[in-house]
Amino acid sequence: MKITIVGTGYVGLVTGTCFSEVGINVVCVDIDQKKIDNLKKGISPIYEPGLDEMIARNTEKGRLHFSTDLPSCVNDSDVIFIAVGTPPDEDGSADLKYVLDVARTIGQHMNQHITVVTKSTVPVGTAAKVRAAVQEELDRRELGIFFDVASNPEFLKEGDAINDFMKPDRIVVGVESEKAQEIMARLYKPFTLNGHPVIFMDVPSAEMTKYAANAMLATKISFMNDIANLCEIMGADVNMVRKGIGSDTRIGNKFIYPGIGYGGSCFPKDVKALIKTADTVGYSMRILKAVEAVNDDQKSLLFNKFMSFFTGDVRGKTVAIWGLSFKPQTDDMREAPSLVIIDHLLKQGCRVKAYDPVAMHESKRRIGEVIEYCKDPYEATIDSDALFLLTEWTEFRYPNWVVIRKLMKNPVIFDGRNIYDAVELKSLDFSYFCVGVNTEK
């Protein structure tokens, strides 16, 4: 089987590489010439553990190719996956411009049956728009070709994307014909041999499944953050409450960690898009609107604690930041809480010194040199008035506090991920603040 993946971002590149790993002939296409030139040289545009080696292996075996020329790939493909970005439009809805551009190009060149699959996260009804866009081009060329459209949303997590793709909890595929179901079942067979199921359904349900999944996960996070904030006011410890509720199998212990709000390229955008979709059909997603509001506030939580610790007198203070990416194991900073916090600090006239194991190049690209970048976590703390822990990279788990105590001008820590031990830090004369526990009582 030959497939083309259009869009070589986090999703497209991982999808294409993993399909080639099981022996399928894959071409990954992107409009970004530099990205493709680099990939041909073995340079990956993203940080994703294990991906570079997998790309190198499959490129060498001749199963994985990179191109900017979609038209020349169209008729050489049994299946074309559309995995381009669907960024939020000005009103929060998903911008389908890139998806439909690709669909039109496919229609302009298709001469045989192809299954066109949307892998990007797209609102209910998008596959129908993709079908219409392809059909319009075929009609223009006066060609009566039968083709399929399917929806195959992606559930991988950045940072663990290869594992998620190779051993998925489930694969969701929305189809409109038996032929498309057969093709998709064949394509995914290597991934389902160990009991990982493909769940076939109709196309709108598949499209909705992706949004419902992300909305549910975002809801868990905001719910827990709301509980955490109340715990702090009421004198309860959210870490204990989390263990207490997580042990109930109906609730489960995953995704109920309090923190400084969800970020990344998916949850914020998908929650917004689902709210917007519902609004356009006259239905209000009341829970999701609250989820979003709680999350927006949560991103400022540590900054507010910092302000009240210094009773607002923060101008000229030096702040060390550990972690810039929106979560560990990725260089992705889209909608990262760090961006909100840095913005607050700079507006208040603070000096910011940051360290992140992989996201500093991305930070330089996004916000430039408005903050200082340090070569390790210790350098960031030199002469600092406060330390913010924003991303729970493993290398931040057990720092040498004795050394840090000497390096910092003022020993106060704002832990946005609840990874440090309040008792230990207090014994070393640090002031310590986290989420959902009143550590100063």
Does 30 help bind ligand NAD (rule: CB under 6 A)?
A: yes
| Helix (H) or strand (E) run with residue 322 in it | strand 318-322
159 is in an annotated binding site: no
- With contacts defined by CB under 6 A, name the span among 72-80, 82-90, 303-311, 363-371 that binds ligand NAD: 82-90
155, 213 contact by CB (below 8 A)? yes
160 is in an annotated binding site: no
410, 398 contact by CB (below 8 A)? no
- With contacts defined by CB under 6 A, name the span among 30-38, 59-67, 184-192, 200-208 that binds ligand NAD: 30-38
Contact letters (x/-) for ligand NAD, 87-106, by CB under 6 A? Answer: -----------x--xx----
Does 357 help bind ligand NAD (rule: CB under 6 A)?
A: no
Q: Is 28 a catalytic residue?
A: no
97 is in an annotated binding site: no
| 3-state DSSP assignment of residue 378 | helix
* Residue selected from 3, 4, 5, 7 as contacting ligand NAD according to rule CB under 6 A: 7
Does 260 help bind ligand NAD (rule: CB under 6 A)?
A: no
User: Judged by CB, which is closer to ligand NAD: 6, or 380?
Assistant: 6
181, 115 contact by CB (below 8 A)? no
Does 158 help bind ligand NAD (rule: CB under 6 A)?
A: yes
Closest by CA to 169, choosing from 144, 186, 192, 135, is 192
| 3-state DSSP assignment of residue 324 | coil
Residue by residue, DSSP assigns 336-376 as -HHHHHHHHHHHTT-EEEEE-SS-HHHHHHHHGGGSEE-SS
Supply 79's token pair: 């299946």
Does 32 help bind ligand NAD (rule: CB under 6 A)?
A: yes
Of the candidates 18, 231, 266, 374, the residue annotated as catalytic is 266
Supply 169's token pair: 């909890």
Does 121 help bind ligand NAD (rule: CB under 6 A)?
A: yes
190-196: long-range pairs with CB below 8 Å, 24+: 190/22, 190/23, 191/22, 191/165, 191/166, 191/167, 194/167, 196/167, 196/168, 196/169, 196/170, 196/171
User: Judged by CB, which is closer to ligand NAD: 68, or 438?
Assistant: 68
Closest by CA to 160, choosing from 12, 49, 21, 44, is 49
157 is in an annotated binding site: yes
Q: Which residue is nearest to ligand NAD (CB)?
A: 9
Q: In sequence order, which residues have a C-beta less than 8 Å from that of residue 240 and are 6 or more positions away?
A: none
CA 294, 295, 300 angle in degrees (round to 5)? 100
CB of 97 to ligand NAD, least distance (A): 8
- With contacts defined by CB under 6 A, name the span among 23-31, 196-204, 335-343, 374-382 that binds ligand NAD: 23-31
- With contacts defined by CB under 6 A, name the span among 10-18, 189-197, 243-251, 386-394 that binds ligand NAD: 10-18
User: Judged by CB, which is closer to ligand NAD: 66, or 303?
Assistant: 66
| DSSP 8-state secondary structure symbol assigned to residue 123 | -
Residues near ligand NAD (CB under 6 A): 6-12, 29-32, 35, 83-86, 98, 101-102, 120-121, 154, 156, 158, 265-266
Active site residues: 266
| Residue set of the binding site | 30, 35, 86, 121, 155-158, 210, 255-259, 263, 269, 327, 334
